[in-house]
Structure 1
Amino acid sequence: MTLTHRHPLPETVLVLGSAALKIGEAGEFDYSGSQAIKALKEEGIRVVLVNPNVATIQTSEHLADEVYFTPVTPEFVTRVIETEQPDGILLGFGGQTALNCGVELYRRGVFEQHHVRILGAPIESVIDTENRERFTTRLAEIDVATPRSVATASVDAAVRAAEKIGYPVMVRGAYALGGLGSAICRDVTQLQTAAARAFAHTDQLLVEEYLEGWKEIEYEVVRDAADTCLTICNMENLDPMGIHTGESIVVAPSQTLSDTEYQMLREVAIRVVRHLGIIGECNIQYALDPGSQQYRVIEINARLSRSSALASKATGYPLAFVAAKLALGKTLVELENSVTRVTRACFEPALDYVVVKTPRWDLDKFPGVTSRIGSAMKSVGEVMAIGRKFEEALQKALRMLDTGAEGLVGNSYNDAAPIRELLSQPTDRRIFAVAEALQQGMTVNEIHAITHIDRWFLYKMANVVKIDARLRSLSGDLD
């Protein structure tokens, strides 16, 4: 699509919400859907919303013109389409639930039958990012590195793939929410168990090399119909590969990348988004080898995500609002940043502060559930803190969790397990185990060797521990 061949604005647009709140799909999709509705209404478009969750902002009376409190499933959405006859549909604002529903409707021919235009990212681009085999093939076309992997359709095929790649391996399900069905497998028994569990939710499982100790980096990218492409925010997980982004402390902007690494990953992100033809917003996740400049693209979300909501709040760039406008054919040069009211949407934000996102778990509510964290989400919420330095933002975030923590230090530490075990087997309290290890005299290098957490973060946490010790020496026991 070019500026001279822009589609006319649709009269009625159907927006798919994310339905019930669940792990992996929570308030961030209420936020993105609400912003999309506002963007459409600003253009004079009639909006029909499908979302059965009455406890959301987007179902409020003043937003959508018509709300259907029905499940976001192909059967119910088909009936809404038959009734409302929308001109267009937005699939990327309701998380994985809405996206999966849209893909199935496309495969059934519902959109073609009722002349409904998919707005934003083309459906083939969505399938390219969700189908793990197509994902690898499409990125190989532009020489973008992905983990060595094999797409499988049965447990036996997964076992054969792992034998070919070599243990340990990571398994990931296609069209999965919150890392559902993913796992790190170090032997055939673990793989068989994980694969059997995953195939209960998906018909395709990717078996790939496990990049142990590599950093996990994310970029949020927007692209318009005129091929203008921007990176809005980049983020870095404090935890290395193997811990789901939703389970990890995330820092924006990245703090440990060299300029060469930052620019390399930025260029790859833009190249990928252009190659796949994505219009609107896209999240791209990397694994980066800290000992070299090798990288792997591990996942692409051609939709709004949890990270998109974090990037919007962290930068002041209204990603969901802009993405909805871009889906209508608007360009970044045309659009005003609705938050700043000064810059245009084609300006990349620049941050002179640090943002830290920390997950919140409620595992104590579920007796018998392990506190171990890994490649599948267990967290039920998160907080975001802003500071001039990493230490300040981290301290604020840990206090805001409402778990009784005073920050990184000053807490009652009563874990009975050996400290090295707590470091090597991540739990929801590993950040406090790191602080305890530093207080017990373990060095940054020792902790890094066990956890693979970047030394930069560990030195910053060591600063907090040193200040705590200094204050105690000056004023006695602060407790």
Structure 2
Amino acid sequence: GRSPVFRPILIDRFLEDAMEVDVDCISDGETTVIGAIMEHIEQAGIHSGDSACVIPTFSLTKTVLAEISSATKAMARELNVRGLMNVQFAVKGEDVYVLEVNPRASRTVPFVSKAIGVPLAKLAAKVMTGKTLSELGFTKEIVPKHFSVKEAVFPFLRYQGQDISLGPEMKSTGEVMGIDHDLGLAYAKSQMAAPPPLPKSGNVFVSVKDSDKTSVVSVVREFVKLGFGIIATSGTATALEAARVPVTRVFKIREGRPNVLDRVKNGDISFIINSPSGKIPREDEVTIRNAAIAQKIPIMTTLRAAQASVYGIRSLQKNKVRVRSLQEYHAAK
């Protein structure tokens, strides 16, 4: 008989709910300096260009940060980089994984430069002509005392009918930046710069996929503490009621009137948490999301973005928004 033909198959483990981290660094071939370590708001799997990110990181441990810094410098040395390099990591617990290494400038360099007050592209150009980082006076990572949040700008209002859920395919067409000494206010400012802004009160509509129904409870509880009413369709409402979270049930689009779409169009809802139910979105989900875009209602399609919104709203309720120039922030270093 014929011998069997063996075909190798590569099986990769999927990192579910891992955090993505971006690092920009500059190297002269000998010395490598971290420009910034950026913590993404959206989880790994969302295109890095579509995810909000924060400088400095706010939830990573010192151990993880040290490992990220060490790995970045080792790769820059091994690749003999002279200029800028970008690395994307995934962090799951205390484990750090390398997703991508780009020995070039990345789209985050202008954001990092403004956040830390150092013109990285200018320094990199001088390094490429033979200057050392020591000669240029940049030999140590700067960890700013203020928070900088980069947020993506999406064209959904202009191109209505597109599904707004985020994934590995980049959908954003620009980005903005929010800065403050308070993380919540920095995030809130980024949402003001890329409207619609976060609301300070009103009703939150919640409809999430089955795998998010347990995790969403803690986020919704935070909204209740902030004085928001909670509205949900049957599946999510049942999960919230089981966790003793006060919720008002609303009809799905095909269940009767008034339904969730009516409440969105009537201005009864000021914020939406809606995680996609699958790769091919349900028709109702797309209809609700598009109505929210048309009504300029903030809509978050990931739980991490919803949690970041809680930080922002809490800070908006407690503090007055103040505007300072970049020069004022960097003068305080």
In structure 1, how many angstroms separate the alpha carbons of the residues matched to 2:187 and 2:211?
19
For the residue of structure 2 that corresponds to 1:311, the secondary structure is helix
Cα offset for 1:364? 3.0
Which of 84, 93, 97 is the equivalent residue of 1:296?
A: 97
2:186 is equivalent to residue 393 of structure 1: yes
Cα offset for 1:407? 2.5
1:261/1:407 CA distance change after superposition, 3 Å: same
Contact 1:423 1:433 in 2 (8 A): no
Residue in 2 aligned with 1:263? 66
1:278-357 aligned at under 5 Å gives the runs 278-290=81-93, 293-335=94-136, 344-357=137-150
Letter in 1 for 2:146: Y
Residue in 2 aligned with 1:381? 174
In structure 2, how many angstroms separate the alpha carbons of the residues matched to 1:419 and 1:220?
36
For the residue of structure 1 that corresponds to 2:112, the secondary structure is helix
1:63-90 per-residue CA deviation (whole Å, 9 max, x = no partner) reads xxxxxxxxxxxxxxxxxxxxxxxxxxxx
1:464/1:284 CA distance change after superposition, 3 Å: closer
Contact 1:219 1:283 in 2 (8 A): yes
For the residue of structure 2 that corresponds to 1:238, the secondary structure is strand
2:163 is equivalent to residue 370 of structure 1: yes
Contact 2:56 2:143 in 1 (8 A): no
Letter in 1 for 2:111: L
Which of 200, 203, 223 is the equivalent residue of 2:27?
A: 223
Contact 1:409 1:435 in 2 (8 A): no
In structure 2, how many angstroms separate the alpha carbons of the residues matched to 1:387 and 1:469?
15
Residue in 2 aligned with 1:184? none
CA RMSD in angstroms comes to 3.6
**Larger RCO (CA under 8 A, 6+ residues apart):** 2
Contact 2:26 2:35 in 1 (8 A): yes
Contact 1:215 1:289 in 2 (8 A): yes
For the residue of structure 2 that corresponds to 1:222, the secondary structure is strand
In structure 1, how many angstroms separate the alpha carbons of the residues matched to 2:115 and 2:221?
26
1:111-260 aligned at under 5 Å gives the runs 164-165=10-11, 208-225=12-29, 227-260=30-63
Contact 1:213 1:452 in 2 (8 A): no
In structure 1, how many angstroms separate the alpha carbons of the residues matched to 2:177 and 2:145?
16
In structure 1, how many angstroms separate the alpha carbons of the residues matched to 2:158 and 2:311?
34
1:210/1:273 CA distance change after superposition, 3 Å: same
Q: Normalising by structure 2, what TM-score? A: 0.63
Residue in 2 aligned with 1:453? 304
In structure 2, how many angstroms separate the alpha carbons of the residues matched to 1:333 and 1:360?
37
Q: Please list every run of 5 or more consecutive structure 1 residues that lacks an aligned counterpart in the other structure.
A: 1-159, 166-207, 336-343, 426-431, 472-479
1:197-245 per-residue CA deviation (whole Å, 9 max, x = no partner) reads xxxxxxxxxxx542111110111111114x0111111100011111111
1:16-63 per-residue CA deviation (whole Å, 9 max, x = no partner) reads xxxxxxxxxxxxxxxxxxxxxxxxxxxxxxxxxxxxxxxxxxxxxxxx
1:68-107 aligned at under 5 Å gives the runs none
Letter in 2 for 1:288: V
Percent identity of paired positions between Structure 1 and Structure 2: 26
Letter in 2 for 1:286: F
Contact 1:317 1:349 in 2 (8 A): no
Q: Normalising by structure 1, what TM-score? A: 0.45
In structure 1, how many angstroms separate the alpha carbons of the residues matched to 2:210 and 2:65?
32
Q: Which has the higher strand share?
A: 2
For the residue of structure 2 that corresponds to 1:219, the secondary structure is strand
1:223/1:434 CA distance change after superposition, 3 Å: farther
